[in-house]
Chain A
Amino acid sequence: MKKLLSFFFALSLPLLSGCSFRRPPELSERLIIEAIGVDKTETGFAVTVQSLNDLAVGADEGTPEGGVTKCCTLYGTTVAEALASVSEETGLSPLYSQARLLVLGYETARDALPEALDFFLRGQNTRADIAVAVAARSAAEIAAADFGKDRVGADVLTDMLEAGEENGTAIGVPLYRFMDLLLSETDAAYCPLLAVKEETASDGEGAECIGTVLFDGTIIRTSLTKEETFPLRILTEQLNGATFAVLSDHVACTLRVTRKNTKIRVLKTPENARFCLQIDVKCDITDLSFRGDPEFLPLDPDLVRAVSDAASRLLTERISGTLGRCFYENGCDVCRFRQRLRLRYPTLYRALAAQGRLSPADLPCEIECRVSIRRTGKEVLREGDRQ
């Protein structure tokens, strides 16, 4: 009996592969989607799908004419309807779980964000950690951007965003985080802004990250440049590392951030709340020179202190500027001040919310930024080396 049962269950195992008597599609019958671009049209949505070109992948005789990816644009009154027609258009069964990038056209993000994203919030097709970005113009041109025949555009773009994050010039956001911020009553969402490179660019066509888009609720408020994104990463407590130059009258110094600690304290006052943003940044000196001095420099404690002070001033200025631009000018609560107040002093938060006193003007913030130099670099910088 036991042997019979074992035989029966062993026999039934192959059925589990699809749990259906319908034949599951082979890999060659799959449309492996890498990137999705969503643009609003007059009648609905145009969805551009970048997928792997199965004829090219694994080809022995080099890359065929079409390249490793191919693109098609689908139309429908909703995003779901447009994507539902992908099989009819391509004759292949779509596989969304490999998709790495979701791009929204600028007009779509500005005018129809909930409509464009609802499919991705509700559906189980795409993964929760797919990267989200807004295109400076249309999403189609980003999804179809040419990075060369043997390169997958979605991979290049997501790798570029990751590199930008390491360098402090981009702020990549996965879908689940972006949606969380969009759905929040208190916080502001943000995501990278992508643009097609100018035709004159030396490394040919393609696309690049040119900054960050900021939302208040589901409305685009403003966008920041790559330079302004660096302080935004500090404000959102996401700075992993960055390189920035400190220029004074006599010294030019490049610092590499190795560690940072951001503390945002909520201070309760009798009738309101204020915030104190304390940032402690540790840096390495990666290069240093006196302007106009042809020789290597001695690095004495006074100079280190002067560089630290100059860097502290610079960062305080840049952080204040970005915070002012985001929160006090455009109402985008990127520091999550209101949420911090809500968690720390819920009663005060409710009272202030009831009185309508949670506007940026009612929530002042002080910034204290301290830069300390952890390592001074190479031996040539030691004072004694000059003799």
Chain B
Amino acid sequence: MKPQEKIGGGQLFALLFASRAIGLFTFTVPQETGFSAGDRVLFTVPFCLLCLLFAVPGLLVGSRHENGIAGAARAASPLLAKGVGVFYAAAFLCAAALGALRFELFVGTVLFPESSTAVFTALLLAAAAAASLRGVQALGRTAAVLLALLAGSVLFLLIATFDRFNGLNLTPPLENGAGPVLKNAFRSAGRTTELAALTLAPAFTRGRVKKAAVGWLTAFSAAAAVIFCWIGGVTGRYGEQQMFPLYTLTEVARFGVFERMDAVLTGVWILVAFLQAAFFLWLAALALKQSFDRKMPPAGAFAGATAVLGLFFLFSALADRTDGEATVYTSAALFLLSSVVIPLTVLLAGKLTASSPKPDASPGRG
């Protein structure tokens, strides 16, 4: 079988950052009160620490085997490897569907409030499936370019709103105690499905996965702190009432003759949503490929995209019925299983297999 193509640590950083960025752009202030502007800036610290903590099992299991969790599971038991592969494929498809759902909410509310966005989502997923067929190197290169675009657009947004920033619009952190900060840090960490990618990362990364992961989580948290601080400093309590405060920030941005930059910036965000879907589809295919040792046919990517679309409609219906709680719990359960429980289980299984006496090839001899 053709050896697995690999990307560098920098490209892994770009892929993880760009994929997670959509969560930042579609960030919504929780409905319950008490999570003020100052808290939103401060919460990025426990969020970063929690993510680093939750990344440990994935990185540990990855460091044990060059093929990541699939290799480690196979070393313990081929059956476990197949189960792990199927679970991770399903988890990444679910993550892609939840990401699409989040983005559909943004598109349906802000961009095309009067239109059905199902066509838009279907096309986005089809394009993502086609992109995932190009392989991880193409995705890594795209992510690097996209990250530069993203950083440029956010920087331009900050400059364009600089004269409207007022520190007085912020609030002192921890005014309502540490509860809201910690609660939201856990909640946001529970949505960071990209951590599960770290368990597979050694299989497709040349560079140092640990360094890329720590760099990604630290840089992402710092970027989130700056953006939240800016949203609070410019839009104040009005921003808190808006569904997507960062989009509101783009609406008020003005720099010389440049006005109404929301259209340009949302264009970049659509690319980010596309990249996230493509990355998750590719990861799902990789999980299956490594566990079953079979190359995925091109039609598999489109089958994956179709499955994601189905899950998207399912989650959409569940979210409507449960007032959004179903997606929160699904996301948290997937995160815990894929980033913590299964990597630890595989590690434990590996230890047990290694410590158990190997069956003698010829029992009758002794």
Question: Are the chains A and B members of one assembly?
Answer: yes
Please report the C-alpha to C-alpha distance between residue A342 and residue B174 in the assembled complex, in whole angstroms. Answer: 12
A336 x B168 contact (CB < 8 A):
yes
B238 x A176 contact (CB < 8 A):
yes
Question: What is the minimal beta-carbon distance from B106 to any residue of chain A, in angstroms?
Answer: 11
A22 x B115 contact (CB < 8 A):
yes
Question: What is the minimal beta-carbon distance from B38 to any residue of chain A, in angstroms?
Answer: 9
- Central interface residue in A16, A21, A180, by most chain B CB within 10 Å: A180
Any A CB within 8 A of the CB of B109: yes
Please report the C-alpha to C-alpha distance between residue A184 and residue B170 in the assembled complex, in whole angstroms. Answer: 11
Question: What is the minimal beta-carbon distance from B126 to any residue of chain A, in angstroms?
Answer: 7
- Central interface residue in A19, A22, A174, A342, by most chain B CB within 10 Å: A19
Chain A residues 1 to 49 lying within 8 A of chain B, measured CB to CB, are: 1, 5, 8-9, 12, 15-16, 18-22, 24
Task: Say whether, besides A124-B243, A127-B251, A346-B172, A183 and B123 are in contact (CB < 8 Å).
Answer: no
Any B CB within 8 A of the CB of A196: no
B239 x A176 contact (CB < 8 A):
yes
Question: What is the minimal beta-carbon distance from A333 to any residue of chain B, in angstroms?
Answer: 11
Any B CB within 8 A of the CB of A155: no
Complex contacts, B169 vs chain A, CB 8 Å: 180
B236 x A184 contact (CB < 8 A):
yes
Question: What is the minimal beta-carbon distance from B110 to any residue of chain A, in angstroms?
Answer: 6
Please report the C-alpha to C-alpha distance between residue A19 and residue B251 in the assembled complex, in whole angstroms. Answer: 22
Question: What is the minimal beta-carbon distance from A33 to any residue of chain B, in angstroms?
Answer: 15
Any B CB within 8 A of the CB of A340: yes
Please report the C-alpha to C-alpha distance between residue A176 and residue B107 in the assembled complex, in whole angstroms. Answer: 22
A176 x B116 contact (CB < 8 A):
no
Among B113, B115, B167, B236, contact of A124 (Cβ-Cβ < 8 Å): B113
Complex contacts, A18 vs chain B, CB 8 Å: 112, 115
Any A CB within 8 A of the CB of B248: yes
Any A CB within 8 A of the CB of B266: no
B236 x A128 contact (CB < 8 A):
no
Q: What per-residue 1/0 map shows which CB atoms of A120-142 lie under 8 Å from chain B?
A: 01101001110000000000000
Question: What is the minimal beta-carbon distance from B297 to any residue of chain A, in angstroms?
Answer: 11
Any A CB within 8 A of the CB of B187: no
- Central interface residue in A1, A12, A20, A336, by most chain B CB within 10 Å: A20
Question: What is the minimal beta-carbon distance from A352 to any residue of chain B, in angstroms?
Answer: 14
A16 x B238 contact (CB < 8 A):
no
Interface magnitude class on chain A: 20 to 34
Task: Say whether, besides A128-B238, A343-B172, A15 and B112 are in contact (CB < 8 Å).
Answer: no
Any B CB within 8 A of the CB of A179: yes
Question: What is the minimal beta-carbon distance from A84 to any residue of chain B, in angstroms?
Answer: 13
Q: What per-residue 1/0 map shows which CB atoms of A165-189 lie under 8 Å from chain B?
A: 0000000001111011101100000
A129 x B117 contact (CB < 8 A):
no
The residue of chain A having its C-beta at the shortest distance from the C-beta of B111 within the complex is A19
Question: What is the minimal beta-carbon distance from A178 to any residue of chain B, in angstroms?
Answer: 8
Among A124, A174, A343, contact of B110 (Cβ-Cβ < 8 Å): A124
A124 x B120 contact (CB < 8 A):
no
Any A CB within 8 A of the CB of B175: yes
B235 x A19 contact (CB < 8 A):
no
Among A24, A179, A184, A339, contact of B241 (Cβ-Cβ < 8 Å): A179
Any A CB within 8 A of the CB of B257: no
The residue of chain A having its C-beta at the shortest distance from the C-beta of B172 within the complex is A346
The residue of chain B having its C-beta at the shortest distance from the C-beta of A340 within the complex is B168
Complex contacts, A183 vs chain B, CB 8 Å: 236-238, 241
A19 x B171 contact (CB < 8 A):
no
The residue of chain B having its C-beta at the shortest distance from the C-beta of A123 within the complex is B113
B243 x A19 contact (CB < 8 A):
no
Question: What is the minimal beta-carbon distance from A343 to any residue of chain B, in angstroms?
Answer: 6
The residue of chain A having its C-beta at the shortest distance from the C-beta of B251 within the complex is A128
Please report the C-alpha to C-alpha distance between residue A5 and residue B116 in the assembled complex, in whole angstroms. Answer: 24
The residue of chain A having its C-beta at the shortest distance from the C-beta of B167 within the complex is A343
Question: What is the minimal beta-carbon distance from B74 to any residue of chain A, in angstroms?
Answer: 32
Question: What is the minimal beta-carbon distance from B47 to any residue of chain A, in angstroms?
Answer: 23
Complex contacts, A122 vs chain B, CB 8 Å: 241
B236 x A15 contact (CB < 8 A):
no
Please report the C-alpha to C-alpha distance between residue A123 and residue B112 in the assembled complex, in whole angstroms. Answer: 13
Complex contacts, B242 vs chain A, CB 8 Å: 128
B235 x A128 contact (CB < 8 A):
yes
B120 x A176 contact (CB < 8 A):
no
Among A15, A124, A128, contact of B252 (Cβ-Cβ < 8 Å): A128
Please report the C-alpha to C-alpha distance between residue A16 and residue B117 in the assembled complex, in whole angstroms. Answer: 10
Task: Say whether, besides A1-B298, A129-B252, A176-B235, A19 and B117 are in contact (CB < 8 Å).
Answer: yes
Any A CB within 8 A of the CB of B222: no
Please report the C-alpha to C-alpha distance between residue A179 and residue B123 in the assembled complex, in whole angstroms. Answer: 38
Complex contacts, B110 vs chain A, CB 8 Å: 124
Any A CB within 8 A of the CB of B119: yes
A19 x B119 contact (CB < 8 A):
yes
A179 x B117 contact (CB < 8 A):
no
B237 x A179 contact (CB < 8 A):
yes
Question: What is the minimal beta-carbon distance from A275 to any residue of chain B, in angstroms?
Answer: 13
Any A CB within 8 A of the CB of B127: yes
Any A CB within 8 A of the CB of B130: yes
A15 x B119 contact (CB < 8 A):
yes
Q: What per-residue 1/0 map shows which CB atoms of A341-376 lie under 8 Å from chain B?
A: 011001000000000000000000000000000000
Complex contacts, A128 vs chain B, CB 8 Å: 235, 238, 242, 248, 251-252
B120 x A19 contact (CB < 8 A):
yes
Among B115, B172, B238, contact of A180 (Cβ-Cβ < 8 Å): B238
Complex contacts, B248 vs chain A, CB 8 Å: 128, 176
The residue of chain B having its C-beta at the shortest distance from the C-beta of A9 within the complex is B127
The residue of chain A having its C-beta at the shortest distance from the C-beta of B239 within the complex is A176
Complex contacts, B254 vs chain A, CB 8 Å: 129
Complex contacts, A24 vs chain B, CB 8 Å: 115
Question: What is the minimal beta-carbon distance from A338 to any residue of chain B, in angstroms?
Answer: 11
Question: What is the minimal beta-carbon distance from A8 to any residue of chain B, in angstroms?
Answer: 8
Complex contacts, A343 vs chain B, CB 8 Å: 167-168, 170-172
Please report the C-alpha to C-alpha distance between residue A67 and residue B209 in the assembled complex, in whole angstroms. Answer: 66
Complex contacts, B117 vs chain A, CB 8 Å: 19
Q: A121-B241, A174-B252 are known contacts; what are 16 more A-B pairs with Cβ within 8 Å? A: A5-B130, A9-B123, A18-B112, A19-B120, A20-B119, A127-B251, A129-B252, A129-B254, A176-B236, A176-B238, A183-B236, A183-B238, A183-B241, A342-B171, A343-B168, A343-B172
A-B pairs with beta carbons under 8 Å apart, 21 shown: A12-B126, A16-B120, A19-B117, A20-B112, A20-B115, A24-B115, A121-B238, A121-B241, A124-B110, A128-B238, A128-B248, A176-B236, A176-B248, A179-B237, A179-B238, A180-B235, A183-B236, A340-B168, A343-B172, A346-B172, A346-B175
Closest 9 CB pairs between A and B? A180-B236, A20-B115, A183-B237, A19-B120, A179-B238, A176-B238, A346-B172, A180-B238, A128-B251
